[in-house]
């Protein structure tokens, strides 16, 4: 398979002494890669650098003809191609359907097309009955599923998930894993997921890379 994302000699340091160091990492198109590590190992830092939210001190992250790094901030095209879902995602005021379609609205997708994509996504993740629910009334697990749907609706080149099941109930965690597994089986999306759960990584990922104290140690 072709490589969609390349990380080369990436270093990100903080004043407190923590340093993320990733000499080399690749994500293949249409696969799920799990970044495995304990709390504080650097998983979130790696994802935010790849997303262009935080800038690396040195090194580059490349995707196709684009690259970002210390001297190359993420352009609009990069931020549209890479979408990240945080551990505790923020939902806007309004309905679930409004939240899922928010990014499409910002990208000036026509209303009829936007509404169709929202319906399709709700059906895909099994949340059809949630369309008119107030997003503020959702449980943590339901909110995580809506955030995932919002990200998927944007049809990103690569999706980043930061510990997506860390704060949600078992049923919604299983549902989210099922969505990931379905996407993996269909090779519809390239996905990089941070997790501290080895069993989960083995269930949903094609490849597992390990971070320990900020250093990339192994890949399987």
Q: What is the pLDDT of residues 71-110, one digit of tens each?
A: 888 999 999 999 999 988 889 999 999 999 999 999 999 9
Query: In which residue are the tokens 């994302």 written?
Result: 5
User: Is pLDDT of 220 > 60?
Assistant: no
pLDDT, residue 112, reads: 95
Q: Which residues contact 164 (CB under 8 A, 6 or more apart)?
A: 85, 87, 144, 148, 176, 193, 195
Q: How far apart are CA 81 and CA 103, in angstroms?
A: 13
Rounded Cα distance between 209 and 68, Å, is: 21
Q: Per-residue pLDDT averaged across 10-17, rounded?
A: 86
Task: Please check the confidence at residue 219 and state whether its pLDDT lies above 70.
Answer: no
- Predicted confidence at residue 124, as pLDDT, reads 86
Q: Exposure of 102 by Cβ count < 10 A (0-12 exposed, 13-18 middle, 19+ buried)?
A: middle
Q: Supply the Cα-derived Rg of the chain in whole angstroms.
A: 17
Closest CA to 4 of 71, 49, 66: 66
Whole-prediction pTM: 0.93
How many angstroms separate the CA atoms of 9 and 194, rounded? 20
Mean pLDDT score, 167-183? 90
Domains (ranges, CATH) in the chain?
A: 3-91+156-219 (3.40.50.300)
């Amino acid at each position: 398979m072709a490589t969609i994302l390349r990380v080369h000699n990436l270093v990100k340091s903080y004043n407190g002494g923590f340093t993320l160091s990733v000499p080399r990492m690749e994500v293949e198109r249409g696969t799920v890669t799990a970044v495995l590590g304990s709390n504080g190992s650097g998983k979130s830092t790696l994802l935010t650098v790849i997303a262009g939210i935080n800038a690396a001190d040195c090194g580059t992250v490349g995707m196709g003809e684009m690259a970002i790094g210390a001297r190359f901030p993420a352009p609009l095209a990069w931020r549209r191609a890479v979408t990240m879902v945080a551990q505790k995602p923020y939902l806007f005021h309004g309905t679930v359907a409004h939240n899922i379609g928010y990014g499409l609205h910002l990208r000036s997708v026509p209303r009829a097309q936007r509404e169709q994509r929202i319906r399709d996504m709700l059906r895909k993740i099994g949340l059809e009955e949630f369309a008119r629910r107030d997003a503020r009334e959702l449980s943590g697990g339901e909110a995580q599923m809506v955030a995932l749907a919002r990200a998927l609706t944007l049809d990103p080149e690569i999706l980043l998930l930061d510990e997506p099941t860390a704060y949600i109930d078992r049923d919604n965690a299983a549902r989210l894993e099922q969505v990931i597994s379905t996407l993996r089986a269909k090779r519809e999306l390239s996905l990089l997921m941070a997790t501290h759960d080895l069993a989960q990584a083995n269930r949903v990922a094609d490849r597992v890379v390990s971070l320990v104290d900020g250093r990339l140690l192994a890949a399987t």
